[in-house]
Structure 1
């Protein structure tokens, strides 16, 4: 199955060398909860669509019970929060972490574009068991199983363009992970930057507008259904309604021609592409998907 995320998504995953196709995914992942089915050697890959990246709220981490509030920086402006996140990142880099600030897609207000996501989530490079960065590529699978190297991850990115990164809620979450020996350094940066707090991705946080997570999923699927119906009205007869429970991706049939697929993406480019809570949906294709793979590579 070739998957392509929309504009940003989340996962704590086990990666296995079993896929046959190239991997290009951007996804946020909660603890042991995958945003979409795992790939297999027969499925193909999860890939990132014409939109960009996908995001979602995730399950809580080690001390969610102690952090029900938004954090010490809750009342600051977005610009101030971004400055604080950059300062915290600089501290981590100074202590030997490969770290960066990334967009907090899951915190986008309803109707916002991905470009408006605040740059307030701090992530570090995802390392393999040998301590070197994991590079997405051919022969890689993402599973919904918990990764023993990262038992308490709040936020994860897997992208052909960016590579693989993980976000820890705080220094306590590094315990038992491959970064356990850097826990003291991470904690030191927390002490030096007491005004920094990772965005709250707790599953207990309601979606924009006060909807519960289950209600949000139902709304997302309805959006996909409405999009499929509109696409058929626009002449794309091959666009089927999403499968029951599918609330994150638009399915592209494997036998759609390259020319037809280009017309489809051109028709629904930019703001015309379906989204939920301001986050564009991903796409996926099962089977040979020759035209789909070619178009994704070009874009």
Structure 2
């Protein structure tokens, strides 16, 4: 059985099934912590609407008592933080990392557009077990299950356009990963750039400073339920409520016709597409998904 997703937000992973391009909306899970069943290269997981990169935030279980997330960066402007992130990235590149700065979609205030996301998250290329960059394509899936190559990442991107990337919270998180032998180099860049800190997603996405990930998941699922109910009222009787625990994506039945699916996406284009905390949900389809895959190819 094939499961095709057009989002991620989540989890770390092994490589399994199939890939394509983003459909209409890609999903970045803007929650304090989250995970997903799987992300195929057919999809672009967690990111921005219509063809953007997909990103995933994952639960950070590391000890944060001595990291710099509450340090000098706390009072800097977005422009200053972006400059610092670029400088830190340049250091990593100089140490041999394939690294880049990517938008911090999960930090967007409610109602903001993806284009306004601050460029403050630093990611490195996701490598496979052979030490080479993962090439997305047919037969490749990054699943939401725990990946021993990446036991502690805080952020991930799976995009048909950009490829696969991961973000470590700090040098400590490289321990035990495929990047373990580069931990000292990463730490050296931290020492050279003491004003750099990865965005603190959990703090920025917890409403009132104390909302739990579970509560945010519940809110996200309720938004999906509300959307499903509205879709049925609008004549899309095939739209079912999300499965228990699903808080990241809209499920598209595999037997929906191409014409009906086009009408569905036309109806809910732009601002009409469901979102949570200002971040659009992704989509996925399980099974043959002929019409769904055809739209993936077209869009």
**CA gap 1:145/1:249 in 2 versus in 1, 3 angstroms:** closer
- Name the CA distance, whole Å, in 2 between partners of 1:190 and 1:45: 32
Aligned ranges 1:86-97 → 2 under 5 Å? 86-97=86-97
TM-superposition CA deviations, 1:192-251 (whole Å, max 9, x none): 21111011134x775235532222111111111111122122222222221222211111
Q: What secondary structure, in the 3-state scheme, does the structure 1 residue paired with 2:74 have?
A: coil
Q: Cα offset for 1:131?
A: 1.6
Of residues 257-266 and 140-149 in structure 1, the stretch that sits farther from structure 2 once superposed is 140-149
Partner of 1:257: 257
Q: Is residue 239–residue 252 contact of structure 1 (8 Å, CA) maintained in 2?
A: yes
- Name the CA distance, whole Å, in 2 between partners of 1:115 and 1:105: 9
Q: Cα offset for 1:146?
A: 2.4
Q: Cα offset for 1:69?
A: 5.0
Q: Is residue 6–residue 27 contact of structure 2 (8 Å, CA) maintained in 1?
A: no
Of residues 227-236 and 248-257 in structure 1, the stretch that sits farther from structure 2 once superposed is 227-236
TM-superposition CA deviations, 1:69-124 (whole Å, max 9, x none): 53321111111111110111111112211100011122222222222221111001
Q: Is residue 9–residue 248 contact of structure 2 (8 Å, CA) maintained in 1?
A: no
Aligned ranges 1:177-192 → 2 under 5 Å? 177-192=177-192
Of residues 235-244 and 156-165 in structure 1, the stretch that sits farther from structure 2 once superposed is 235-244
Is 1:129 matched with 2:129?
yes
- Name the CA distance, whole Å, in 1 between partners of 2:223 and 2:53: 17
Q: What secondary structure, in the 3-state scheme, does the structure 1 residue paired with 2:260 have?
A: helix
- Name the CA distance, whole Å, in 2 between partners of 1:77 and 1:60: 25
**CA gap 1:225/1:206 in 2 versus in 1, 3 angstroms:** same
Q: Cα offset for 1:46?
A: 6.1
- Name the CA distance, whole Å, in 2 between partners of 1:180 and 1:289: 40
Partner of 1:157: 157
Aligned ranges 1:193-212 → 2 under 5 Å? 193-202=193-202, 207-210=206-209, 211-212=211-212
Is 1:269 matched with 2:265?
no
**CA gap 1:283/1:227 in 2 versus in 1, 3 angstroms:** same
Structure 2, gaps ≥5 residues long: none
Q: Structure 1 residue aligned with 2:19, among 22, 27, 39?
A: 22
TM-superposition CA deviations, 1:104-154 (whole Å, max 9, x none): 122222222222221111001111122210112222233333222222222
Moved over 4 A (4+): 23-29, 49-57
Aligned residues: 286
Q: What secondary structure, in the 3-state scheme, does the structure 1 residue paired with 2:229 have?
A: helix
Partner of 1:109: 109
- Name the CA distance, whole Å, in 2 between partners of 1:222 and 1:266: 23
Partner of 1:239: 239
- Name the CA distance, whole Å, in 2 between partners of 1:137 and 1:181: 28
Q: Structure 2 residue aligned with 1:47, among 32, 43, 48?
A: 43
Q: What secondary structure, in the 3-state scheme, does the structure 2 residue paired with 1:236 have?
A: coil
- Name the CA distance, whole Å, in 2 between partners of 1:207 and 1:56: 17
Q: Cα offset for 1:56?
A: 6.1
- Name the CA distance, whole Å, in 2 between partners of 1:233 and 1:248: 22
TM-score by length of 2: 0.85
**CA gap 1:118/1:45 in 2 versus in 1, 3 angstroms:** closer
Q: What secondary structure, in the 3-state scheme, does the structure 1 residue paired with 2:283 have?
A: strand
Partner of 1:168: 168
